[in-house]
Chains A and B, each alone.
Chain A
Amino acid sequence: MNRILATALTEFRIAFRNRWVAIAIGLMALFALVLSAAGSAPTGALGADRLSVTVASLTSLAVYLVPLLALLMAFDAIAGEAERGTLPLLLTYPGSRVEILLGKLAAHLCVLALALLAGYGLAAVAAFLADPGAASGLPALFRLGWTSLLLGATFLGAGYALSALARRPSGAAGLAMGLWLGAVVLYDLALLAAVVADGGGWFTTDLFPLALLANPADAFRLFNLAASEATAAAAGVGGAAAAVPLWQSALSVLLWPLGALALASAAFRRVTP
């Protein structure tokens, strides 16, 4: 436990010195503010409180931004140590490789939490300023917060796995961007294309919900939109939220971080420095 804490402290220090903390906070805050400003128009028509609508917009933002931030922080975790030549020495110290991963994960989750706090906090303040009844959206915002962290943990774990597989930071960066593009952007496009082509057949009714649950980003979106009252404010894949029971998307959101960390641990174990 001490070793995990020590690793987390050192990694956080490195993230801070490398400006990652500032970049993550700045990015989240900027996007959250832009969303709040842009989302001010449609409120009245939906009959939902202002914060719930903001949460729906933030969910769409988080689906892209949280995996991106997580992968950007994670891709260097093992490949970077290998390239700098710090990995062999680190591995001769007492403690398991899982402890090293958990320490890095704790630090990176901390950075992510700070960024989310800044971004979501600003958006919430903006919502409260515009609508005094925004408090009814607070549970949705809280839910968005912890599921965002779990989504981040999933992509951090995936990033560590890629970092261990690639052995070189440049290769790991390429793989990480490929994963982001594939899991967050292309996956949804491919599903939508398939749904359109299928025209309401077997794919749309049976396989489509499963395909959504199998992707951590989609499961995150489903869970947040289904749980919130503002489903109507979301477009696209989010419209399918009603079709999938809440417990299923919750389970996917909870299990993915564990799965990703198991993958990372398996990949890291195979690394011989």
Chain B
Amino acid sequence: MTSTLKISALTKTFAGLKALDAVSLTVEPGMRVALLGHNGAGKSTLMKIVLGLLPFDKGQVEVCGAAPGSTAARAGVAYLPENAAFHPALTGEEQIGHYLALRGESPKGARALLERVGLHEAAGRRIGSYSKGMRQRVGLAQALIGRPRLLVLDEPTSGLDPVSRRDFYELLDGLAAEGAAILLSSHALTEVEARTDRLLILSKGRMVASGTLSDLRREAALPVTIHMTARNGYAADIAAALPGSIRFGADLQLSCSQEDKLGALARVTGLGDRLADIEVVPPSLEDIYSHFSRRDGQ
């Protein structure tokens, strides 16, 4: 299978500052890849290079088998910018019609596209009167034009309410099932975890982690926390029986590595009815994300 997007050792410097430092990644057809990172981590720069909007210094970038920004690449790539903006004097239908014509399709398809993103009622109104979420939907509608092979989506769900978000990811699932490769950026790991096949974490221009969520979980090897609630008066007993545990009144907390998890649980259950309740808390997505994005001393 040939990759839709292939980037190797990509480096981009802005005035001596490395915005991207030897970044490599591939996106196969049908794959949904999430690009995560703080503001200024290099997500937008990477996307603009893929789109051919920015030149780069070193490395190789291949988009749909062509150079980024070339006619062949642009024909196969759709883009949704962060905070999608359009001319306020045009109606949604006219704006989408214009984009359809630019891709060599009939402007008559505009209404159907707007219907797909749930905007058919506002299609005849000027975009100047749209809310942020509606403009984002117009942006999404234009990204659906002409069966793109690669979708580059910069913070696509910003400004969308939770229900629209779910609809949006359902749309993406459909596109991926048809073979489109999807590269999207986000601040929120919790939002993309169930909706993407691979996660990439950028920090200060470097790719600090890449893989599925369970890959990242394993690699981060963050401790598991066991929360315990003691029965009346037994808290001190339990704290003595479990060295390393931390006690807050009747509640106790024990941290252990992934490998020691079962052993620790066995010791905890060995405490019998001195315990009222226990709860095992795996490292949260936010913990994993901070672990990787802080590794470089942030």
Contacts and interface: CB of A to CB of B under 8 A. Distances in A.
Interface in B74-122: 74-75, 77-79, 81, 83-87, 89-90, 94, 98-99, 101-104, 107
B102 A86 contact: no
A88 B94 contact: no
Given A88-B48, A88-B53, A93 B99 contact: yes
A34 to B, nearest CB: 31
A13 B87 CA distance: 11
A94 B102 contact: yes
24 contacts: A2-B101, A2-B104, A5-B101, A6-B98, A6-B101, A6-B102, A9-B98, A10-B87, A10-B98, A14-B87, A14-B90, A84-B87, A85-B83, A86-B87, A88-B79, A89-B79, A89-B85, A89-B142, A92-B51, A92-B52, A93-B99, A94-B74, A94-B103, A272-B54
A92 B90 contact: no
B71 interface: yes
A17 B55 CA distance: 36
Contact of B77 (A3, A88, A92, A95): A92
Given A6-B98, A93-B74, A13 B90 contact: yes
Interface string A76-101: 00000000111011011111000000
Contacts of A92: 51-53, 74, 77-79
Chain A binding surface, main DSSP class = helix
B182 to A, nearest CB: 15
A153 B107 CA distance: 28
Nearest to A95: B102
Interface string A1-44: 01101110110011001100000000000000000000000000
Given A3-B101, A3-B102, A95-B102, A13 B53 contact: no
Contacts of B74: 92-94
A273 interface: yes
B81 A85 contact: yes
Given A6-B98, A91-B53, A92-B51, A85 B71 contact: no
For the side of the interface on A, what is the size category?
20 to 34
Given A10-B90, A13-B90, A14-B89, A88 B104 contact: no
Nearest to A16: B89
A243 to B, nearest CB: 48
B100 to A, nearest CB: 8
A115 to B, nearest CB: 19
Given A2-B104, A3-B101, 4 more contacts: A14-B89, A84-B85, A92-B51, A92-B79
Interface residues of B, number: 30
A13 B89 CA distance: 8
Interface in A164-189: none
Given A88-B48, A272-B54, A93 B102 contact: yes
The 7 closest A-B pairs by CB, nearest first: A6-B101, A85-B85, A17-B89, A92-B79, A93-B102, A10-B98, A94-B74
A89 B81 contact: yes
Nearest to B48: A88
Contacts of B90: 10, 13-14, 17
Contacts of A5: 101
Kindly name the residue among B48, B98, B102, B142 whose own CB sees the greatest number of chain A CB atoms within 10 A: B102
Contacts of A89: 79, 81, 84-85, 139, 142
B103 A93 contact: yes
A272 B53 contact: yes
B184 to A, nearest CB: 15
Contacts of B142: 89
A271 B94 CA distance: 26
Nearest to A272: B54
Contacts of B89: 13-14, 17-18
Interface in B59-78: 71, 74-75, 77-78
Interface string B235-248: 00000000000000
Contacts of B75: 94
Contacts of A91: 53
A6 to B, nearest CB: 3
B53 A10 contact: no
